[in-house]
Amino acid sequence: MSTAALDPTALLPESLRDDFPILHNQVLENHPLVFLDNAASTQRPAQVIDAIRNVYEHDYANVHRGIHTLSERSTELYEEAREKVRGLLNAEHAREIIFTSGTTGSINLVARSWGGANLKPGDEILLTVMEHHSNLVPWQQIAAQTGAVLRHVPLTEEGRLDMEAFDRLLTDRTKLVAVASISNALGTINPIDEITTKAHDAGALVLVDAAQSVPHLPTDVRGTDVDFLAFSGHKMLGPSGVGILYGKESLLDAMPPFLGGGSMINEVRLDSFTPAELPAKFEAGTPPIVPAIGMSAAIDYLNAIGLDAIGRHEHYLTQMAYEALSKIEGLTILGPGPEHRTGLISFVFEKIHAHEFAQVLNDQFGIAVRAGHHCTQPLHTLLGITASTRASFYLYNQPSDVERLVEGIAAVQTMFAPRGRRRRKRSEG
C-alpha cells in the first residue's frame, strides 16, 4: 500500500485509543475490534463516561425548577453545556442554542414550527438528492400540510452537488434551502458558504444538517451566516438522546413553540398560555440533562485535541483507504475523490451484496462497518443500487485499521470467488 503522498505528521497519536475502553474489546472469535461505523455513532472516551457517572452520583436533579442544592448544581452544569455548544459553533448568544433529542428532532422542530407558520401553497423548499431521510421526510410532511413544493438539487457524475442546477432551481419562490454539510453516504463536502450566500441573495433561509461535519471540522455559524444548524451528540463522542438546534435569535423569537408543557411557558391560564423566552420556549418538559452534560465533556475532549487536527487525521486515513480500495478489482467507490470528501468511504462490490459483505467482515475479521442504504434510499435508487458498504473513520482510528479493512476485503473477495465460479459452471451446464 503506497502512501508516499501522505504526511504522517497529520496523524493523531495512537495513545488516544487508551481513552476509549470499548476499543480494547475482543469481538466474536476473539478478534480485536476495528470500529469503522463512526458515521452512524461514535464511541465515548472515559472522560465522557466519568462525567455522566459523576452527575448521577453527585449532582443530579431536575433543572430550573428547584431551589435546593442538587437542582442548582444540575442547572449550572446544564447551562454550562449550552455555553460550551455556543462556543463550539461561534454562535452569538447561548439562547440561540436549543437542546433537542438529536439532529432529527432539531430538523423536525424547524419544519413544524417555522415551516408550519411560514410556508404557503406554491412556496418552494430546495433540498438535494443526497439528503439523509431526516432532512427529507420532515419537509415532505410539512409540504403535504402547507401546499409547499419540494425541489431537489441533482449530483454531478463525481457525486458532488450540481451547482449549475442549484442556480436554476433557486428562485424567488424558494423559501428555504435545507442541505447536509457533508453527505453521510458519499462523504461529499458541500459548499455551504456558496449555498448560503446565493440563498440569502434570493431571499431564502438556510438550514444545515451538520451531523457529519460538527464532530470532524471547525464550525462557525456566524462566519457562514446559516440560519439554522442541526447536529447530534452521539456522533461526536457524546451520549445518545441529545442534539442541538442552532437558530438565529430573530428567527427563533418569531417561531411558535413546537411542543407544549412544562418549562416552555411564562404563564398558563385555563384557556391560554404565553410562551417562555428563549431557549426555554423550545425545551418543553424535562430536558436531556445528563446527556447534555455528557456532551459538554465531549466538547472539552474535542477542543483539547483541536478540530483542525481531527480533520487532518481523518483526511489522512481517507486518502489511504481511497488509494487502496481503488485498486481492488470489482469494487466501486461511491462519491468524489479524497480532496472533496471527509472521513468516510462507501462502496459496492461486484456480485456480493453489501449486507453479506459486512457480515463476513464482522464475523470473520472483527471489522465493524455499516451496510444498507444509510437512510439515503432516494440517493441509492438514483445510483441504481439497493445498498452499499460504508467505512467511516474518527480520531481514534489508525492506519492499522485501514490495513485491516483492506486485508479483510481482499479475504472476503477470495471467499466468495469459488462460489461464483461454481454457479457459473452450473449455469453453463
Q: What are the C-alpha distances in Å from 319 to residues 24, 381, 410?
A: 26, 27, 18
Q: Write the DSSP assignment of 316-373 as a string of letters.
A: HHHHHHHHHHTTSTTEEEES--GGGB-SEEEEEETTB-HHHHHHHHHHHH-EE-EEE-
* DSSP letter, residue 288: -
294 contact partners, CB below 8 Å, separation of at least 6? 44, 48, 51, 52, 55, 233, 238, 239, 242
| Beta bridge mates, 126 | 151, 177
Phi-psi region of 257 (alpha: psi -120 to 50; beta: other; left: phi over 0): beta
**Phi, psi for residue 257 in degrees, rounded to 5:** -60, 145
Reduced to 3 states (helix: H, G, I; strand: E, B; else coil), residue 405 is: helix
| Cα three-residue angle 116-104-308, rounded to 5 degrees | 120
CA neighbor of 392 nearest in space, from 232, 233, 184: 184
Q: What is the set of active-site residues?
A: 375
**Phi, psi for residue 368 in degrees, rounded to 5:** -95, 110
